[in-house]
Amino acid sequence: MSPPYQATPYPSTIEIKDTVGTIQSLEVVLGTLNHSYSRDIAIMLVGPSKSIILMDKVGDGPLGSVKLTFSDAGATINPTVPLGSGVYKPYSSGTVTYRDENGNVMAATASTFADFAGSSANGKWKLYVLDTKPFDAGTLGSWTMNIQTTPTFTISQKNIKMTENGTTNVTITLKDSSTAEGTLKVTAKAGNTTLFPTPAWWCRLRRHSNALHYSPGVRRWHRCHHRDGGRRRLEAHRHD
């Protein structure tokens, strides 16, 4: 990046598709950042629903192949000391004017990554990098995002009537590829808790189980067996 101030490409874009659930946490990683004077750099991230300034007017000196991770769990940036590799909270001086590729002024709509929680990760994420002063130059080797989303968990039936020693089929759908199978558990509880005060049975969801059938892809399990009479209400619990 060099004068006239906009990096190439401007912006740099990552497009996310087919992600289920909503954003739970978000981090941005800038890899191999070089510049002769860090205070000249200004960086804004614009997502599908919100935008946030990652850094501007920070540090006092050059950047030599540093790796910067921006996270709500990071350290607070001291804008007057040299900036080294590490994990930092986003920092804005409030003195830089950001413009998009069409010259329109952009304002940040978030001050922390927590502000992105509950929104979809799908869509275009744009990184706008500016060099605010002449005579100096720099490069950004790469940038990535670490996004954790909440899973979507549905069950086709919540109240099931069964005959004595009967068998029924229930379909459970979990759209969350990062969840280990052994951490999921389905518990059946009686509608009449006086008659049956404790759960009648539970099924640990695992592949190739005798009691559960697993289908790859969207993760469906079914055919949990119950061996006691009475009315049962099926409850699905996710354990991390």
| Cβ(205)–Cβ(185) below 8 Å | yes
Which are the contacts of 130, defined by CB distance < 8 A and separation ≥ 6?
1, 5, 6, 7, 41, 42, 43, 56, 96, 98
Predicted pLDDT of residue 180: 59
Q: Residue 167 is part of which domain span?
A: 152-238
Tell how far CA 238 is from the center of its chain: 18
Residue 169 lies in a domain: yes
Token pair of 218, please? 């969207």
Last residue of a domain, one of 89, 119, 149: 149
| Cβ(72)–Cβ(113) below 8 Å | yes
Token pair of 80, please? 């007057």
Predicted pLDDT of residue 122: 94
Q: Are residues 212 and 193 in the same domain?
A: yes
CATH assignment of the domain containing 186:
2.60.40
| Cβ(223)–Cβ(188) below 8 Å | no
Predicted pLDDT of residue 32: 94
Predicted pLDDT of residue 19: 86
CATH assignment of the domain containing 140:
2.60.120
Token pair of 63, please? 């950047």
Predicted pLDDT of residue 157: 62
Which are the contacts of 81, defined by CB distance < 8 A and separation ≥ 6?
59, 60
Residue 3 lies in a domain: no
* Per-residue pLDDT tens digits for 46-55: 999 999 999 9
Residues of the chain with pLDDT under 70: 1-4, 152-240
| Cβ(80)–Cβ(47) below 8 Å | no
Q: Are residues 85 and 181 in the same domain?
A: no
Sign of the CA dihedral running 84, 90, 91, 95: positive
Enter the pTM of the model: 0.69
Sign of the CA dihedral running 83, 85, 86, 87: positive
Residue 101 lies in a domain: yes
Stretch (H or E) spanning 7 = none
Residue 5 lies in a domain: no
| Cβ(47)–Cβ(163) below 8 Å | no
* Per-residue pLDDT tens digits for 163-208: 666 666 666 666 665 555 555 666 666 666 666 565 545 555 444 3
Q: How far is CA 110 from CA 49, 98, 117, in A?
A: 10, 14, 11
- Distance from C-alpha of 102 to C-alpha of 81, rounded to nearest angstrom: 34
Q: Are residues 16 and 118 in the same domain?
A: yes
- Number of structural domains, the chain? 2
Q: Are residues 170 and 78 in the same domain?
A: no
- Distance from C-alpha of 116 to C-alpha of 127, rounded to nearest angstrom: 16
Residue 84 lies in a domain: yes
